[in-house]
Structure 1
């Protein structure tokens, strides 16, 4: 059965609307900046997991009193003036860790936008199994700010907004495994800055490149057509992203993210060839296979196959059978 993904978006005309700035939490808000308050707030829910994205036009002071044992990871998306959380100064793409049952205070001196995810601490062991420090729940009991030092932070900002926009367009139920892919994609974008900030670890010997790549391929074959996120691969084989990248680069001359993308593109190509153009939407097929931005998806697809997705769909076996049937009627 398809998992319910809830998406709620609203416009804000007063600071009171930010009391639910993080889904499932109550935040006390005081408006500091002068002027009429304008803002927007979106909540995405996938099971017990949630993503909140908010923006506002004037400075505010926020204070969150923790009422549960959920872990909150926040990212500053943009800011017109100084932003502080606890004693940390924040810059766009910086990530903040709010441990379970911890009070939090923040100060935004001007217009700003943020994203925050709220998840069960028990999930980090499986979600980050390839990264020893992140998979240890003890890591997340420390208040921390991770500075974004690479382009991956800015890419994560764009990725989050694309995912929310794409999920909002989804009109049909989503299988559990596809919903899990998008949940992992959101967490991956939020945690990218943290992963980049951590020094490389020497974890001892890694499986040989050939064996690791073959094991991954076998795992993907068993997964069938469902999208598999790289964090799932790392968790399954208890290997870090750096080690996985080295293995794939050595064996195939490309990274695991590119390899997974091409596997998904091949699955879409096969699905479109078997689909009826009258009842199939390319956007829905792309979403079910882990692509959220249709323009970029179409670009990747054409680079790999030399044709657009619509060309594959309208040259599908269904169309061919219809043409053959009409020809047989005409000649019969």
Structure 2
């Protein structure tokens, strides 16, 4: 992964702006619907990995030439009319796989919104590590359509939009120390819908839960204070999400996602206690630990520590508005 970070957003005034619909990849577009095209296009770039989210108000024809050696995984976020890619009729939150060097053919019959993740094919082994059916690069060499689960798909869409919104307005939250966490968080939103479309996998051996938990905690200790995503742990230890979840439930009575959130909250608490008022903000510390829904973060914090984050920072009583974090 390269060492450059990008957060960029612009308003669209004409279909030509959608030539860059996917960051780093040229897309041929033609307007189908009548009227002046309006919309927005935002990009997050982390090295060779990117997330693009676009929205437009009229029908469009899109084609991608076969000169790009990157894998593109897309999700339909909104549509007022039919959307078709190749022979696939897309429903809300469905995931589309466009393999490297394959021509793409899409038609949006009305106003729509999409998200597109672009990455090196070799990166799937680390991003989806622990999930054997997703971590094999060969599994992504064929075009594919994955039907989203209604509940999980809606959650994934909200998360992607929230990540883009918060990083767009809080660019300092995308730093080199947290870039890997954001990359994995974005990838998981796509993976959730792919996994829900696959048959259940009940294989896999559950090692001694406490031995596995010790390996996880050793790994977390070695990473220092940066936030760590569940998929990173699965890749590093070679275990599936299902196996990890069962181990955490057996030992702690809660899942690995909740455990890691508690750990990140503790890190925020310690940083705030050690910081002088005026030297930092609650929002910046929270973003550094991967909390992008800052209103929800404040609720988690209050529930866990019995005080607002502003009270921890400097040991004073304050209102949550004083933290500089409104609703998510």
Q: TM-score range by the shorter chain?
A: over 0.9
Match in the other structure for 2:94:
94
Aligned-residue CA RMSD (Å): 1.6
Contact 1:3–1:173, Cα closer than 8 Å, also in 2: no
Q: Say whether 1:249 aligns with 2:249.
A: yes
Contact 2:167–2:174, Cα closer than 8 Å, also in 1: no
Cα distance in 1 for residues equivalent to 2:260 and 2:170:
22
Match in the other structure for 2:219:
219
More displaced stretch, 187-196 vs 87-96: 187-196
Cα distance in 1 for residues equivalent to 2:150 and 2:254:
21
Cα distance in 2 for residues equivalent to 1:3 and 1:277:
32
Contact 1:3–1:179, Cα closer than 8 Å, also in 2: no
Q: Say whether 1:199 aligns with 2:199.
A: yes
Match in the other structure for 1:52:
52
- Displacement of 1:199: 2.2
CA gap 1:240/1:122 in 2 versus in 1, 3 angstroms: same
- Displacement of 1:204: 3.8
More displaced stretch, 261-270 vs 2-11: 2-11
5+ residue gaps in structure 1?
317-332
Q: Say whether 1:269 aligns with 2:285.
A: no
Cα distance in 2 for residues equivalent to 1:32 and 1:172:
39
Match in the other structure for 1:103:
103
**Displaced runs of 4+ in structure 1, greater than 6 A?**
none
Cα distance in 1 for residues equivalent to 2:207 and 2:251:
13
Alignment deviations for residues 223-242 of structure 1 (CA, whole Å, 9 cap, x no partner):
22110000101101111111
Cα distance in 2 for residues equivalent to 1:44 and 1:80:
26
So what's the TM-score if we normalise by structure 1?
0.91
Alignment deviations for residues 181-224 of structure 1 (CA, whole Å, 9 cap, x no partner):
11111111122101222223244423211111121112112222
Where 2:178 maps in the other structure, the secondary structure is: helix
Alignment deviations for residues 239-267 of structure 1 (CA, whole Å, 9 cap, x no partner):
11111111111111101000000000001
Contact 2:5–2:175, Cα closer than 8 Å, also in 1: no
Structure-to-structure mapping, 1:228-247, within 5 angstroms = 228-247=228-247
Contact 1:3–1:175, Cα closer than 8 Å, also in 2: no
Looking at CA atoms only, which structure, 1 or 2, has the larger radius of gyration? 1
Where 1:44 maps in the other structure, the secondary structure is: strand
- Displacement of 1:277: 1.2
So what's the TM-score if we normalise by structure 2?
0.92
- Displacement of 1:28: 1.3
Cα distance in 1 for residues equivalent to 2:156 and 2:310:
29
Match in the other structure for 1:64:
64
Cα distance in 2 for residues equivalent to 1:86 and 1:173:
37
More displaced stretch, 119-128 vs 173-182: 173-182
Match in the other structure for 2:42:
42
Match in the other structure for 2:146:
146
Alignment deviations for residues 281-304 of structure 1 (CA, whole Å, 9 cap, x no partner):
111100111101110000001111
Where 1:164 maps in the other structure, the secondary structure is: helix
Match in the other structure for 1:326:
none
Aligned length: 315
Alignment deviations for residues 94-130 of structure 1 (CA, whole Å, 9 cap, x no partner):
0000011000011111000000011000111121120
Contact 1:25–1:66, Cα closer than 8 Å, also in 2: no
Alignment deviations for residues 40-64 of structure 1 (CA, whole Å, 9 cap, x no partner):
1111111111111101001111111
Where 1:254 maps in the other structure, the secondary structure is: coil
